[in-house]
Chains A and B, each alone.
Chain A
Amino acid sequence: MTTVTRAAPTLLTSPGARLVGKRLLMAVPIVIGVSIVTFWVLNLIPGSAAQQLLGPEATPAQIQALEARLGLDRPAPVRYLAWLGGAVTGDLGTSLVSGQPVAGLLGERLAVSGELVMLAFVISLGLALPVALLAAHRPGRLFDRVSMLVSITGLSVANYVLALLLVLVFAVELALFPAIGFVPLTESVGGNLQGMALPAAAIAFPLFCFYTRFLRGDLVDQLQGEDYIVTARAKGIGPWQVLLRHAFRNSAFGLITVVGLNLGTLIGATVIIEQIFALPGIGQLMLQAINTRDFVVVQACVVLFAVVAVVANLLADLLYAVLDPRIRYGSR
């Protein structure tokens, strides 16, 4: 024990490691809190679950029998702890409707939602970086003004509105992409990407606008307000080098944080987009479960969404800690 604690300080007291540890410790209670809130929210109307499953014609005896079978007659804290105990070991219960294990249901659909999120993320960030850099290169010029106009417009378009417009234009009018229809990646990569193109675009565009606006604004702030930019220019290096090596390096840290905070919105968007394009992802599963009152599945989906958001945020923090020398090496 003593040898461990004596060896540990050099590693554990390094500022980066300490930050990582602190963030990890903060994420655990948040994840537990998330599951409690979910459990509480889905039990806002106590005892109604069995009633709603059986429908209005059910007799009190039938309801009681079902509640006993599902364990709904136990007090809420007991039920929560039982659920948590199962969840930790990977047992998320069984679907009330299909009778299948929930963990298995989620696993099947995770790949679809994951692919959608990754595609949207890569597209939005991949486009936002060059556009923001070009806009910040000459603030106030035509390209900057057009890109800012497009981005404020894009930020005001709800993703479901955009999705329907994309369907209207690219599927109905031009027939370039299928409006609905999912082809698994294992079956045909081309077919899969064709089916994913419109939903990914519907999620990616508002995000692209958001990232572009944020990054362009931060870059311009750096270029106009920071002294080290003047130093860099006074060296006699070119404007692109000033932008990329100096302004962007510093703006990137703010962008990482924003991207991390924003990933929650990104995965939330999959719910409605999967519904519109009939993609068999987690979001669609959650909506089906909501409509069939399958609260075991709803609960697992909601917790999963929240946990992914927390983890994304945590990863952004960690990335920040790894990349920023002020945190990596601590202050003097």
Chain B
Amino acid sequence: MTGLVGEFATPVAAGEVAEPLLEVTDLRVRFRTRGTVVHAVNGLSYRVHAGRMLAVIGESGSGKSVGSRALMGLLPETAQVSGSARFAGTELIGMPERELRARRGADIAMVFQDPTRSLNPTMRIGAQVAEAVRAHSSLNRRAALDKAVELLGLVRLPAPERRAVEYPHQLSGGMRQRVMIAIALAARPRLLVADEATTALDVTTQAQIMELLVDLQERFGMAVVLISHDLGLAASYAQDVLVMYAGRAVEYAPAQVLFADVRMPYTRALLGAVPQLEREPHSLLPVVPGQPPDLARLPAGCPFRPRCTAADDACGEAPPFTEHEPGHWWACWHADGGEEAR
């Protein structure tokens, strides 16, 4: 954490010209509780472009969720957020709560991991969607409910009129996640953040929800940030991939580039932990060795150093996150291996 301004130049994907929809620069989040400080996000930078899907990949505790909630001021009061996040040219960090509220749902909407806990158990489905509709429009209760039913149909919830008067516990997990998506779409957001949106679902439902997201993205030209721990999901659906470790970006590239030419040892370790067909049957699945770092006591230098097989003395200093090849960014002193290492 030497604080070089140059380190935080924002990555730009290859061949891109348009102004990014969301530009996050040197985002930092820390939590202060009872004398300990947890550094959840430590200088995160990325860009999201309209109509594209960015996958943010990392283990639990890598700051991927916290980083996205920080954009909309959805973190608890113990969180201290600094850095910059410009949405369509407007700075979100430090924006007064009232103005931020007007943007939640309208500019950036979110879908969360656990659809069982993310819906209010005591409110009817339709009312919960209608509430999101009314938050950003002047529709009356009746019209908002009609709109809610329309939205439930849009996310392909079967029999939307009937489901609208039911309660969350009467729906299956997949249906609940469709409801969450309907809520997110209520004010036609320009950016949808799907925070582990398919993690709690079974594989079949997961695929259906992803197809729905991709379909809706194309239909409305939304940008999507797909937060996940699942590299396979990123490879299948996302155009751009950002890998996070210990609250910072460690590798970033368009999906094809990244998966063809992994540079950062952590990304490689993550890839190794994904089951692959060409691997010897019944061979042990390699796992990323060691534990994710304690965010209250981050080591100096490269945070991945204790778990990295390529680590040496150079890693005592944190490697900068820079664009080493056109469109391909990484933070590592030992990425030269490139193709040969695989």
**Interface positions of A (Cβ within 8 A of B):** 224, 226-228, 230-238, 241, 245-246, 249-250, 253, 324-326, 329, 331-332
The docked-state distance in angstroms from the alpha carbon of A233 to that of B172 is: 24
* B56 within 8 Å of A (CB atoms): no
Question: Using an 8 Å CB-CB cutoff, how does the interface string of B104-126 with A read, 1 for contact, 0 for none?
Answer: 11100110101001111111100
Check B76–A236 contact: CB distance below 8 A: no
The docked-state distance in angstroms from the alpha carbon of A253 to that of B101 is: 29
Interfacial chain A residues near B139, Cβ < 8 Å: none
The docked-state distance in angstroms from the alpha carbon of A228 to that of B101 is: 16
In chain B, what residue has the closest Cβ to A324? B122
Say yes or no: A326-B104 contact (C-beta < 8 A), given A231-B118, A234-B74. no
| B157-184 at interface with A (beta carbon < 8 Å) | 166-167, 169-172, 180, 183-184
Query: Can you list 23 pairs linking A and B with CB atoms under 8 Å apart?
Result: A227-B112, A227-B114, A227-B118, A228-B119, A230-B74, A231-B112, A234-B110, A235-B135, A235-B183, A236-B102, A236-B104, A236-B106, A236-B132, A236-B135, A236-B187, A237-B132, A238-B101, A245-B123, A245-B131, A325-B122, A326-B169, A331-B169, A332-B171
Interfacial chain A residues near B106, Cβ < 8 Å: 236
The docked-state distance in angstroms from the alpha carbon of A238 to that of B124 is: 19
Say yes or no: A329-B167 contact (C-beta < 8 A), given A234-B110, A324-B122. yes
The docked-state distance in angstroms from the alpha carbon of A235 to that of B131 is: 8
Check B186–A235 contact: CB distance below 8 A: yes
Q: Which of these, B105, B121, B132, contacts A228 with CB under 8 Å?
A: B121
Interfacial chain A residues near B69, Cβ < 8 Å: 230
Q: Which of these, B118, B122, B169, contacts A230 with CB under 8 Å?
A: B118
Interfacial chain A residues near B124, Cβ < 8 Å: 325
* B334 within 8 Å of A (CB atoms): no
* B86 within 8 Å of A (CB atoms): no
Interfacial chain A residues near B169, Cβ < 8 Å: 325-326, 329, 331-332
Check B112–A326 contact: CB distance below 8 A: no
Q: What are the nearest 8 A-B pairs in CB distance?
A: A236-B104, A236-B105, A227-B117, A235-B132, A325-B167, A228-B120, A227-B118, A236-B135
Interfacial chain A residues near B122, Cβ < 8 Å: 249-250, 253, 324-325
* B188 within 8 Å of A (CB atoms): no
Say yes or no: A232-B105 contact (C-beta < 8 A), given A227-B114, A329-B170. no
Interfacial chain A residues near B102, Cβ < 8 Å: 236
| B128-176 at interface with A (beta carbon < 8 Å) | 131-132, 135-136, 166-167, 169-172
* Chain B min CB distance to A239 (Å): 8
The docked-state distance in angstroms from the alpha carbon of A326 to that of B171 is: 12
Q: Which of these, A226, A235, A249, contacts B123 with CB under 8 Å?
A: A249
Q: Which residue among A231, A235, A245, A329 has the maximum number of chain B CB atoms within 10 Å of its CB?
A: A235
Interfacial chain B residues near A246, Cβ < 8 Å: 120, 123
* Chain A min CB distance to B169 (Å): 5
* Chain A min CB distance to B112 (Å): 6
Check B109–A234 contact: CB distance below 8 A: yes
Say yes or no: A236-B136 contact (C-beta < 8 A), given A227-B112, A329-B167. yes
In chain A, what residue has the closest Cβ to B102? A236
Check A326–B186 contact: CB distance below 8 A: no
* B103 within 8 Å of A (CB atoms): yes
Interfacial chain A residues near B123, Cβ < 8 Å: 245-246, 249
Q: A226-B117, A231-B180, A326-B169 are in contact. List 12 more A-B contacts (CB 8 A).
A: A224-B76, A227-B118, A228-B117, A231-B118, A233-B74, A234-B105, A235-B132, A246-B123, A250-B121, A325-B121, A325-B122, A325-B124
Interfacial chain A residues near B112, Cβ < 8 Å: 227, 230-231
The docked-state distance in angstroms from the alpha carbon of A238 to that of B105 is: 12
* Chain A min CB distance to B64 (Å): 16
Interfacial chain A residues near B166, Cβ < 8 Å: 329
Check B105–A235 contact: CB distance below 8 A: yes
* Chain A min CB distance to B324 (Å): 36
Check A250–B135 contact: CB distance below 8 A: no
* Chain A min CB distance to B87 (Å): 14
* B264 within 8 Å of A (CB atoms): no
Interfacial chain B residues near A231, Cβ < 8 Å: 110, 112, 118-120, 180, 183
Q: Which residue among B109, B131, B180 has the maximum number of chain A CB atoms within 10 Å of its CB?
A: B131
* B72 within 8 Å of A (CB atoms): yes
* Chain A min CB distance to B190 (Å): 14
Interfacial chain B residues near A238, Cβ < 8 Å: 101
| B73-113 at interface with A (beta carbon < 8 Å) | 74, 76, 101-106, 109-110, 112
In chain B, what residue has the closest Cβ to A323? B122
| B27-43 at interface with A (beta carbon < 8 Å) | none
Interfacial chain A residues near B172, Cβ < 8 Å: 332
Check A235–B104 contact: CB distance below 8 A: yes
The docked-state distance in angstroms from the alpha carbon of A3 to that of B101 is: 59
* Chain A min CB distance to B294 (Å): 23
Interfacial chain A residues near B170, Cβ < 8 Å: 329, 332
The docked-state distance in angstroms from the alpha carbon of A289 to that of B13 is: 89
Q: Which residue among A227, A231, A236, A326 has the maximum number of chain B CB atoms within 10 Å of its CB?
A: A236
Check A233–B117 contact: CB distance below 8 A: no
The docked-state distance in angstroms from the alpha carbon of A227 to that of B171 is: 17
The docked-state distance in angstroms from the alpha carbon of A237 to that of B100 is: 11
Interfacial chain B residues near A332, Cβ < 8 Å: 169-172
* Chain A min CB distance to B293 (Å): 26
Interfacial chain B residues near A233, Cβ < 8 Å: 74, 104
Check A249–B120 contact: CB distance below 8 A: yes
Check B120–A232 contact: CB distance below 8 A: yes
Interfacial chain B residues near A325, Cβ < 8 Å: 121-122, 124, 167, 169
* Chain A min CB distance to B144 (Å): 12
Interfacial chain A residues near B118, Cβ < 8 Å: 227-228, 230-231
In chain B, what residue has the closest Cβ to A139? B77
Q: Which of these, B103, B167, B180, contacts A236 with CB under 8 Å?
A: B103
The docked-state distance in angstroms from the alpha carbon of A10 to that of B174 is: 29
The docked-state distance in angstroms from the alpha carbon of A238 to that of B76 is: 16
Check A250–B120 contact: CB distance below 8 A: yes
